[in-house]
Structure 1
Amino acid sequence: MSEKLTVSATLDSLKIITEYIVKVANMANLEKKAIYKLRLAIDELATNIINYGYSEDDRESYIFFESEISDKTIVITIHDSGIPFDPTSKLEVESEMINVAIDDRPIGGLGIFLAFDGVDEFYYERVDNENINILTIYRK
């Protein structure tokens, strides 16, 4: 089973993205905790794409989502044509920050860590001037 979504790369699209993710997760009969973690992961990635992937002059840009539901997995693929950004490059830095006292941490900076924590597998690649983020959740 496959579901697709295309949205403008604007913060106004986050609500539509969340509704799409909840719909897909419910179609796959995910538990509430898994749905929450998946929503958090997608929201973090989409927000980063919107805020950092495009310049103000690029507001005619889009983010494409495709979800594949099988007996064992849910795979959500996110495509964007923003600047190259590999979220896995931030993972080591952010996972080190988890052990730093809250008062000593910079504001923000744990979103990618939380996104990876919410999925079973994450893969990134850059192909033909597109960022491709692939998130996999194992169905239980």
Structure 2
Amino acid sequence: MNLEPLTLPGEIAYLSQLMDYVTWAAAAAGLDEQATYRLSLAVDEIATNIVIHSYQETGRTGDLTIRAETDADKLLIYLEDTGIPFDPREEPFPDHLDLPLEERRDGGLGIYLALWGVDAFHYEQVDGKNRCVFMMNRPSTAGDAPFPES
């Protein structure tokens, strides 16, 4: 099953529509509540970072395009933007978690939680766009499915 892509302005006000799409795709793929939450958290964190850091803070405008594909084993969510290239996997692991909150440096934890929450994550640049791919195993799948090569 492939869902029709959805393109929205890269603005905070449109993130709820993006999340509705993710929730619907997760339900259509048969993900349980916990997996749906983890996927939603991941997509929301990355999309919010794109809007804030790649569009708002730079004065750029652009869109976010999301699409979903499923097969017997997995759900893939593709999130594309035309902002500044940024591979979330290159963000350093938050090494300050044992410090009191007031002593921790800002940033990094949301991306860590986002990438930790999905079964696989991939970033690439395609045709001048940034593409983040989130993979969740479907309930009937035992173990981790290999991530598809693009």
Q: Name the TM-score, length of structure 2 as normaliser.
A: 0.84
Aligned to 1:58: 60
Q: Residue deviations 1:4-41, cap 9 Å, x none?
A: 21110000011101111110011011110111111100
* Gaps in structure 2 of 5+ consecutive residues: 140-150
Aligned to 1:119: 118
The offset of 1:100, in angstroms, is 3.6
Report the aligned-residue RMSD.
1.5
Task: Please say if 1:79 is aligned against 2:80.
Answer: yes
Aligned counterparts of 2:26 and 2:134: Cα–Cα separation in 1:
13
Counterpart residue type for residue 132 of structure 2: N
Aligned sequence identity (%): 34
Aligned to 2:148: none
Q: Residue deviations 1:102-132, cap 9 Å, x none?
A: 3321244311001011101111112332111
Aligned counterparts of 2:97 and 2:68: Cα–Cα separation in 1:
30
Counterpart residue type for residue 75 of structure 1: L
The offset of 1:53, in angstroms, is 1.1
Aligned counterparts of 1:121 and 1:75: Cα–Cα separation in 2:
9
List aligned pairs for 1:1-140, cutoff 5 A.
1-3=1-3, 4-55=5-56, 57-59=59-61, 61-90=62-91, 92-94=92-94, 96-140=95-139
Work out whether residues 124 and 132 of structure 2, in 8 Å CA contact, stay in contact via their aligned partners in 1.
yes
Aligned counterparts of 2:99 and 2:73: Cα–Cα separation in 1:
37
Work out whether residues 96 and 105 of structure 2, in 8 Å CA contact, stay in contact via their aligned partners in 1.
no
The offset of 1:71, in angstroms, is 1.0
Task: Find the residue that maps to 1:26 and give its secondary structure.
Answer: helix
Q: Residue deviations 1:69-102, cap 9 Å, x none?
A: 1111001111111011110110x332x2334443
Task: Find the residue that maps to 2:93 and give its secondary structure.
Answer: helix
Work out whether residues 54 and 60 of structure 2, in 8 Å CA contact, stay in contact via their aligned partners in 1.
no
Q: Name the TM-score, length of structure 1 as normaliser.
A: 0.90
Aligned counterparts of 1:58 and 1:77: Cα–Cα separation in 2:
21
Q: How many residues are matched?
A: 137
* Gaps in structure 1 of 5+ consecutive residues: none
